[in-house]
A and B are shown apart, each in its own frame.
Chain A
């Protein structure tokens, strides 16, 4: 059925796969901004966006009104508005970096997608083949390395704006991102100590982490959030800080910095920052799901292979692949809902509280956690 695809030049195949993934991520990130407005409205007991509608869909009884109340057409109208608005470039900015910054925000966010596996299928021998653009051995390291380049968009946006509030926002952002990177990196080391068991080739592949959460037995089948709750907690908190989400959104901080690093931006350049923020959230949630929530396994102690057997679809790799992608995406969406839930529940920290939390609480905790698991894993795997 898909033979013609495999006869294409490998470069064209790669481009097609990459474009396909980006064409999922970009609208998903846009949909997140709508979901954010809907979730916040829901939490605050108001209807939220519920006006926009395409005329000929309004003629459909019930469904049209339902979609209107759900606000799905606001996504389209928002996108259209932001695209066709006048693009203001203030006179006092450094034009080159001012225009470069939003592009720099998007690039790392979409590049990291390449190494994040989002599903798996089983070949004839029963081995799990992960669905990923580039199945490299250093998976997680590549995610960290490329996403750490996203900081330059914040710094340059703030600096090029040549104005006080954006500058303060970008200074805060750069200090915060560097502070939480340490705790974040330390918190995932126990997972990879456990995966790199003696006698196996060394790896930091995310697919391998999922493989280790789908083994038989009580300990083999439990997700890493059960085995390493502290690691998961530290990683989650650092993820909030790294993606500049509430309660860590010091870079924007509307109450004291107007809009933070994007104060001087408007129209589509402004929305690119938000697409980048939401794609960072999607990728970060994906990594969290892969590392701690079992990836594409439907339930703890019920790996994908068992689920496929129960449903009787073991012989259909295409169906299993789609099922695994659906499970993975469902978990990611649940994580994003959690992000929004926290945003509209917890008030924003003060800047000194953020620095104190990062350096005086999370960093020592992650080091202690690492030492504990290093000793425990050495004893168990001896």
Chain B
């Protein structure tokens, strides 16, 4: 049963992810992205990581894709969608595909994939307190670095979007 569910969700997620790439209509692509995220959330639920599943839904499916749609609707994307691939983008995508294939094959062949302790995974994924404790101890540095990155992005947006002419006090 669990196997069938896993394959169903994995296939669903992959199909939607392909849909994101090949869809010409940007709104359709965004909706496929939404469905792909829901599929990933389903995979998390199968791993007993309910917290991650719902955080994924809350942050990405609930807010980020909504912002994508918001932008897609504000911009008229009709003429850019029909343009074919340029040479450089074809080359870049083939190169990226090669990198991805190398990475996956190296991971599958050389990586020592051991079955993780299911009790540990369940505890980290479901128990909020344990999860938060891990975030603030073992993974404190990555959290801080990502926070800093987001801060830089936010500052960049403020600098780009603010009209500086009228503001005398900043000069």
A residues adjacent to B (C-beta < 8 A): 97, 136-138, 141-142, 144-146, 148-149, 151-152, 155, 159, 167, 170-171, 174-175, 177-178, 181, 196, 201-204
B residues adjacent to A (C-beta < 8 A): 27, 34, 50-51, 54-55, 57-58, 61-63, 66-67, 69-70, 73-74, 126-132
CA A196 to CA B133, docked complex, whole Å:
13
Chain B residues positioned under 8 Å from A204 (CB to CB): 128
CA A172 to CA B131, docked complex, whole Å:
36
Task: Write 20 A-B pairs (CB below 8 A) sorted by A numbering.
Answer: A137-B126, A138-B128, A145-B54, A145-B58, A148-B61, A149-B61, A151-B62, A155-B66, A171-B70, A174-B66, A174-B67, A174-B69, A177-B66, A178-B63, A196-B129, A202-B128, A202-B130, A202-B131, A203-B128, A204-B128
| Residue pair B70, A149 in contact (C-beta under 8 Å) | no
| Residue pair B132, A138 in contact (C-beta under 8 Å) | no
| Residue pair B127, A144 in contact (C-beta under 8 Å) | no
Chain A residues positioned under 8 Å from B50 (CB to CB): 136-138
- Which residue on chain B has the smallest CB distance to residue A192? B128
CA A146 to CA B38, docked complex, whole Å:
11
| Residue pair B58, A201 in contact (C-beta under 8 Å) | no
CA A97 to CA B127, docked complex, whole Å:
38
Chain A residues positioned under 8 Å from B131 (CB to CB): 202
From the candidates B63, B126, B132, name the one contacting A148 in the complex (CB within 8 A): B63
CA A177 to CA B50, docked complex, whole Å:
24
Chain A residues positioned under 8 Å from B74 (CB to CB): 171
A122 to chain B, nearest CB (A): 27
- Which residue on chain B has the smallest CB distance to residue A178? B63
Inter-chain residue pair count (beta carbon < 8 A): 72
CA A170 to CA B127, docked complex, whole Å:
37
| Residue pair A151, B66 in contact (C-beta under 8 Å) | yes
- Which residue on chain A has the smallest CB distance to residue B58? A145
The secondary-structure label for the interface of chain B is helix
CA A309 to CA B126, docked complex, whole Å:
36
Chain A residues positioned under 8 Å from B61 (CB to CB): 145, 148-149
| Residue pair B128, A149 in contact (C-beta under 8 Å) | no
| Residue pair B34, A171 in contact (C-beta under 8 Å) | no
B39 to chain A, nearest CB (A): 14
Chain A residues positioned under 8 Å from B34 (CB to CB): 152
- Which residue on chain A has the smallest CB distance to residue B62? A148
Q: A137-B50, A138-B51, A155-B70 are in contact. Are A145 and B62 (CB under 8 A)?
A: yes
| 14 other A-B residue contacts (CB within 8 Å) besides A138-B54, A149-B61 | A97-B27, A137-B128, A138-B51, A138-B128, A142-B54, A145-B55, A146-B57, A155-B66, A159-B69, A181-B63, A196-B128, A201-B127, A202-B131, A202-B132
| Residue pair B73, A152 in contact (C-beta under 8 Å) | no
Chain B residues positioned under 8 Å from A174 (CB to CB): 66-67, 69-70
Chain B residues positioned under 8 Å from A178 (CB to CB): 63, 66-67
B82 to chain A, nearest CB (A): 18
A301 to chain B, nearest CB (A): 29
Q: A155-B73, A171-B70 are in contact. Are A141 and B54 (CB under 8 A)?
A: yes
From B62, B126, B132, name the one whose CB has the most chain A CB atoms within 10 angstroms.
B62
A295 to chain B, nearest CB (A): 20
| Residue pair A141, B130 in contact (C-beta under 8 Å) | no
CA A229 to CA B55, docked complex, whole Å:
27
| Residue pair A175, B70 in contact (C-beta under 8 Å) | yes
From the candidates A148, A170, A196, name the one contacting B57 in the complex (CB within 8 A): A148
A205 to chain B, nearest CB (A): 10
CA A378 to CA B1, docked complex, whole Å:
46
A166 to chain B, nearest CB (A): 11
CA A142 to CA B57, docked complex, whole Å:
9
B51 to chain A, nearest CB (A): 6
CA A112 to CA B70, docked complex, whole Å:
24
CA A167 to CA B70, docked complex, whole Å:
11
B71 to chain A, nearest CB (A): 10
Chain B residues positioned under 8 Å from A152 (CB to CB): 34, 66, 69
| Residue pair B58, A144 in contact (C-beta under 8 Å) | yes
CA A263 to CA B129, docked complex, whole Å:
46
CA A167 to CA B66, docked complex, whole Å:
14
Chain B residues positioned under 8 Å from A138 (CB to CB): 50-51, 54, 128
